[in-house]
Chain A
Amino acid sequence: MPYLLSLPSWLYLTVFFVVPLVAMLSMSLATGNPLVGYVFSWHFVEFARAVDHYWVQLVRSFWYGTLSTFLTLVLTYPVAYWIAFHGGRHKGTFLFLILLPFFVSFVIRTLAWQFLLSDQGLILGSLKSWGVLPEKTYLLSTSTAVIGGLVYNSVAYYVLPLYVALEKVDRRVVRAAGDLYASPAQAFWRVVLPLSAPGIFAGFLLVFVTNVGDFVNAALLGGPGTRMVGNIIQYNFFDAQDYPMAATLSSVLMFLLIVAIYLYARVFGTESIQEYAT
């Protein structure tokens, strides 16, 4: 029975995905408090309350997520392109160098940014002493720092799928474009870019989903008015001990992400991209 081979996967999914998911969904519909306990009660009002209370942070999370993912793409595409097309026999080394910082825990790396970006730190301090920036300027505790941190932390997750897609591009096709009098720019826009679309798509999903739910960057680099929905969930779980609200917000976030991904796939779906490419 070949189906039996899938049994471990089913078991794994049930124990570590389905059970927690059901627990979360049922908690989001429960009423009560930590002292008296919780009763499941189809308490759908909690969803309205969650959106009503925290729509600002939800919108902010999606905005930060979209912007940071897009910036990561713009930043990493040239790098992946260069390694795939001009890396020669050192491709592996270059990739390794890009991944190297990511062997350090990302909390530590993000904390390092606190130090680098501090008002009189290495970056701002120097720029201020050269008179490039006015004395009052600061970066830490702003949305710029949060988005910057999100971009920084997603580089590896975008470079890899882009590299794989670009590496797979048939060089003969690129050469054929040249033979047919396409300029290098035309060959890139009309041949290479469409052929690398699966990498762009895969990387976007990977980075976007992670960044929308992120709360470390906002906690460590943000300030007033930069909290994301992940911070709100954490606050409700640990500090406010409002478990139904934490569960509801998690459910809302998951639901919105699924809708966003569905729409994204419909518009830039893999199929249509591949059709365009062929």
Chain B
Amino acid sequence: MSDQKKSNGMWRIDDPALLRGLTQARVSRRGFLEASALGLGAMALPSAAFASDMMAKPAKLDATWQAWWEKQKPTKDLVFANWPYYIDTDDKTGKHASLDKFTKDTGIKIKYLEVIQDNASYYAKIAPVLKAGQSIGNDIIVITNTWQLTELIMQKFLTPLWQEKLPNFFKNASPSVISPAYDKGNKYTITWQSGLTGIAYNPKLTGREITSFDDLWDPKFAGHVGMMSDLTELGSAALLKLGIKPVTSTSDDWKKAAAILDEQKKKNIVRQYYDQSYIKALENGDTWISQAWSGDIFQAHSKGFNDLKFIVPKEGAMIWHDNMMIPKGAANPLSALTWMNYYYTPETAGLIEDYDNYICPVPAAQDYILKVLKDPDVGNSPLVFPTKEMYAKVNDYYVFTSYENYQAWSNTFSPIVQG
């Protein structure tokens, strides 16, 4: 979650996203999804049975917003701001089949922008505009479930979703994205893609298989352990090692977590607190074992770094969600709802998933990918369509309740990274 991306245009030296490293690439990684390579072979069980465990229903809007939505007139445009490399793209023409199909079916033209490079700096960019009550010119934006998302909700910068217009979401969404802790009842957001934060390592350098967060604290790897500079990721890893669920953790737990992180640093075990550049350190062999985002390891494979492995540690992994939402002042809110509903079909989600390869929020897309797109690598991957067993091992992030609460977390963990 959070942090870096590469901009689609110029390298700007004042671009903070660039300065902090490169991008959190939401990159296609076709064909590198063998379950065995992930140490997840045992978990590759059918996931279809899991899809209908829970039924959610559209919730009613309050009267003001109901009236607001009913007043809106349909438009033929949609401006969609997303992260780079995050939608199906034809290698040769650069076209997005899913978007073109949407335009054909609905007559709505999409202006697709790859402008979001990391949550914090994107938030810093749009917050003053939204605060002034002006439009940021986008109808849909995609934000990870970070403090920035909580802040967008607290600041009332988002338009509540008219859930009656999203029947496909309630029909097809995976239980893992229905009513998440950070947005109860999906009042403002629905998930675009999810992903895991676990451990990546190079068995040739570690000399043994890795199974646990304890391995990140192993003095044998001193100077070659990579930890993340993102404070939410860093703190959550330490909490998991202590056997504490991050989502229900208290500030006392955070102090305990900070203490073991401090010890890890003082023993010179940590090579560096990395942003997105952790992946380069792994590829170069500077780090042997590192906190990692699942997607990047596949990208590394496609670049030829086949030694790298990604695992879900026995203590569990973190799951993050990138979410679609409608900022206030959007000019085409009905078009935005139409797209959101359109996305939650096996066809559209399947088409996009076959390129994206993160965790798909539409379990039924698995069949579409296997039978229509005939891509078993993606369709059978437990990382794209996790099994129930795997979902049982993933953890949600702590949801901040106020700025002071967020500051308490930051102040607990920032001395480790910034000291």
Contacts and interface: CB of A to CB of B under 8 A. Distances in A.
Nearest to A226: B272
Contact of B418 (A108, A140, A231): A231
Contact of A238 (B124, B272, B286, B407): B124
B165 interface: no
Contacts of B284: 114-115, 118-121
Contact of B414 (A106, A220, A235): A235
Interface string B261-296: 000010000111101010011001110000000000
Nearest to B268: A224
Contact of B272 (A108, A141, A237): A141
Nearest to A242: B407
Contacts of A234: 16, 19-20
Contacts of A220: 21, 277
Interface in B140-168: 151, 154-155
B171 to A, nearest CB: 36
A214 to B, nearest CB: 11
Interface in A128-149: 136, 138, 140-141
A203 B403 CA distance: 44
Contacts of B20: 219, 234
Contact of A224 (B121, B124, B231, B419): B419
B13 to A, nearest CB: 5
A59 interface: no
B247 interface: no
Contacts of B19: 107, 215-216, 219, 234
Contacts of A140: 272, 281, 286
A222 B13 contact: no
Interface in A95-127: 105-108, 114-115, 118-121
Contacts of B242: none
A219 B272 CA distance: 10
Contact of A114 (B124, B265, B280, B419): B280
A275 interface: no
A35 B403 contact: yes
B13 A105 contact: yes
Contact of B286 (A33, A138, A216): A138
Contacts of A160: none
Contacts of B121: 238
Interface in A230-273: 231-232, 234-235, 237-242
A108 B419 contact: no
Contacts of A231: 418
B40 interface: no
B410 interface: yes
A120 B204 CA distance: 14
Contacts of B410: 239-240
The 6 closest A-B pairs by CB, nearest first: A118-B284, A141-B272, A223-B272, A33-B403, A238-B120, A119-B286
Given A120-B285, A136-B223, A227-B419, 16 more contacts: A35-B151, A35-B403, A56-B419, A107-B19, A119-B285, A141-B286, A219-B21, A222-B272, A223-B270, A224-B273, A224-B419, A231-B418, A234-B19, A238-B124, A239-B231, A242-B407
8 contacts: A33-B404, A35-B151, A118-B284, A119-B285, A138-B223, A223-B273, A232-B418, A240-B407
